[in-house]
Structure 1
Amino acid sequence: MSYGSNDGGHGTGVAQVEGDPFADPGLPHHTPRRTDIDARAANRAERQVAALFGLSTILTIAFIVCFVAIDKEESMYVVGLGTVNTLNFALGVTLGGSLLCIGFAAIHWARKLMNAEEIVDYRHPMKSSPEDTAEVLEKFRAGVEDSAIPRRKLIWTSMLGAMALFPIAPVIALRDLGPLPHKKLRGTLWDDPNHRQIVHANDERRLKPSDFALGSMISAKPNDLEGHDELAKASILLVKLNPSEIRSKELADRGYRGILAYSKICPHAGCPLGLYEKNTHHMLCPCHQSTFDLADFGRVVFGPSARNLPNLAITVDDEGYLVAKGGFEEPVGPSFWERGDA
């Protein structure tokens, strides 16, 4: 039993047994489309494609208008969907419709106006020869010509308008991410003189040095936080060390009688700290085990953190309550874009 080959390169590629009475019929004869032989039909198809591109442009503009004009809290009833958010529904319809019109226009353009000749292309080695490369370039140039772009100015112009305007929609949507942080990442509420009083994190009572025993630790925060959403960055830990165990006079002067204040936020990934080893004065992060020496300016002694734990300078006011002298000297928390060495 043996197998025959394709007939002159025009068969379907199906192997045939010798003597098989069912011959390979090959490709059917090419039948021209109406737009190939009727100029009026071709012009009508061109207008249809341009109309779809134009409708895409209108829907993109409608997306932008809806994004700006519709209230985010507004809702509406849609048959089959029930009550939905009006803004989400409008954005979905306009943006989806814009994409759909571009797709329909491209398909209609290809089916009605581009070259419709059937071509058989056999497999070839993966590495192209110079002749094949030249042939591909020639086919590309022929494809540009077959697409009718040079001759169909209306399609070309309307397509450019739709494709150029469409990217504006997702750019406008970036506005919904919220305002830029600007300098907010570099400061905390401790920078504000109205928020320098140190209060207990749980009951918000003001703290005095007498509230601390040697080796104790208390979570604290600034006073008057009602209406503020920056508690996480401003949270601190107060620990009392033996003044003789503090490694430098500079650090001792930033505390009060052995009481030191540090940010509660790990500089590595922003996890809250709280695992304090009294004997070693080490603060351990529960997430990735970064360890900081509180007796030595919060120096990193182990783990992935690239920066020391920020220290907050404190003192007491005229009534004997603990207060912050000012804000942190460096940004608290994990790294952010353009932080640099600050």
Structure 2
Amino acid sequence: MKRAVRTVYTLFYLSVAGSLWAVAAYMIFPIESGEIPAIRDNNLFIGLGIAFALLAIGVGAIHWSKAIMADKEYIEPRHATRGSDTTRAGAVAVFSEANEESGFGRRTVIRGGLFAALAASILPAITLFRGLAPENSPEDPHAGDPVYLLSHTMWKKGMRLATDPEGLPVKASEITLGSALHIIPEELAHLSHEEGYLDAKAKAIVLLVRMLPEQLHETPERASWSYDGIVAYSKVCTHVGCPVALYEQQTHHLLCPCHQSQFDISDEAKVIFGPAARPLPQLPIAVDDEGYLVAQSDFTEPVGPSFWERH
């Protein structure tokens, strides 16, 4: 019995160590550099820590029930939904007896280990979600403002559209009818090893689609935002920010694989199905003197999820 008790609380405290290791791994293997080996190590060691922590809780709880708790069979007859006062008092007595037999009330070391393991198991999640929050910077008064951050990307007037990840500029004459290309700013393609590259790319990436000009249903304000049937829309879904990249050529519908939101590219990427609350932001494009597609400006509205407060 003593050995079983030691095994159980040891497993619970090993679970605490696993949770703490996951938090430490998040700091030891940062992913801000954007390098694939760093991202791989980050995912590997955080995942191992969380898996070990949860596994230790599960094994400890099972061993507790099998090796420490009483092994008795009970037969409970059916009764009305609301039992009599005597029955209810009997239920309280059963719980008291179960507490006595399991040792939950007496075995403070096991109880403390279980509580510590359960409390520590949420630390990795808190740490990971905290990393998604915008950082405040005394040099940038807008650094903590998600609306401001999502309202500005790397796109600027005259910046060429380039394929992702090759970084090759795109000529309008080379875009075939019905094609869909993953596009990033040309300057961004040369910054793949710079700090903050992934954040910049996540906001700026777009999907370039070509269809017949007469198939586009454009409002007068956006009539100049496309070129000869070529349109560019943000790839960041307006629901929770998943990459929208499944294009159906015949219907001109764009599907988000996460929660099945659908957007009609021929009609200014309006939502036709799913939980997304607004159309995909459109990137105004034109053609430069050499025939390359360029941006007319940045997006005119924030990219990404719609749960941020919009102004």
In 2: Cα distance, 1:267 partner to 1:283 partner: 18
Other-structure match for 1:62: 17
Superposed CA offset, 1:209-262 (max 9, x none): 6x379978673622142525547971322548769x864331124346875433
Q: Distance between the aligned counterparts of 2:228 and 2:206, measured in 1?
A: 21
CA contact (8 A) 1:262 1:311 kept: yes
1:139 aligns with 2:93: yes
Secondary structure in structure 2 of the residue aligned to 1:254: coil
Name the counterpart of 1:123: 77
- The residue that corresponds to 1:191 in the other structure is 153
Contact 2:281–2:299 (CA under 8 A) maintained in structure 1? no
Which residue does the alignment assign to 2:109?
158
Give the 5 Å matches for 1:54-93: 54-64=9-19, 66-67=21-22
Task: From the superposition, tell whether residues 179 and 318 of structure 1 become closer, same or farther in structure 2 (CA, over 3 Å).
Answer: farther
The one-letter code sitting in structure 2 at the alignment partner of 1:234 is: I
Q: CA RMSD for the aligned pairs?
A: 5.6
CA contact (8 A) 1:266 1:285 kept: no
One-letter code aligned to 1:157: T
Q: 1:272 offset after TM fit, Å?
A: 2.4
CA deviation vs aligned residue, 1:184-212 (integer Å, no higher than 9, x gap): 99878981157932135697543456x37
d(CA) in 2 for partners of 1:130, 1:250: 73
1:312 aligns with 2:283: yes
SS of 1:191's equivalent?
coil
Query: Which residue of 2 is the match for residue 13 of structure 1?
Result: none
Q: Select the residue among 221, 235, 238 that pairs with 2:206.
A: 235
Which digits, 9 at most, give the CA deviation of each residue in 1:54-78, with x for residues without a partner?
53454234334554668889xxxxx
Does the 8 Å contact 2:160/2:294 carry over to 1?
yes
What's 1:331 paired with? 303
Matches of 1:51 and 1:237 in 2, distance apart?
62
Per-residue CA deviations over 1:18-54 (Å, capped at 9, x if unaligned) read xxxxxxxxxxxxxxxxxxxxxxxxxxx6x76764565
Distance 1:276 1:262 in 2: 15
Q: Secondary structure at the match of 1:327?
A: coil
Q: Find the aligned partners of 2:102 and 2:163 in 1 and give their Cα distance.
A: 75
Structure 1 SS opposite 2:122: helix
- CA distance in 1 between counterparts of 2:114 and 2:182 reads 55
Cα separation, 2, equivalents of 1:131 and 1:267:
56
The 1:212–1:264 alpha-carbon spacing in structure 2 relative to 1, beyond 3 Å, is farther
1:255-280 deviations in Å (ceiling 9; x for gaps)? 46875433467768855255556xxx
1:146–1:297 distance in 2 versus 1, CA, 3 Å: closer
SS in 1 for 2:189: coil
292, 296, 301: which is aligned to 2:264? 292
Partner Cα separation in structure 1 for residue 232 and residue 55 of structure 2:
54
Q: Report the secondary structure of 2:252's partner residue.
A: strand
SS in 2 for 1:167: helix
- TM-score, structure 1 as length reference: 0.51
Distance 1:218 1:190, change over 3 A: farther
Distance 1:232 1:219, change over 3 A: farther
Whole-Å Cα distance in 2 between the matches of residues 69 and 289 of structure 1?
A: 37
Give the aligned residue type for 1:283. Answer: H
The 5 A counterparts of 1:9-24 are: none
Report what 2:245 is aligned to. Answer: 272
- Cα offset, 1:312, TM superposition: 0.9
Count of residue pairs brought into register by the alignment = 268
Percent identity between matched residues is 16
Q: Which has the larger radius of gyration?
A: 1
2:139 is matched with none
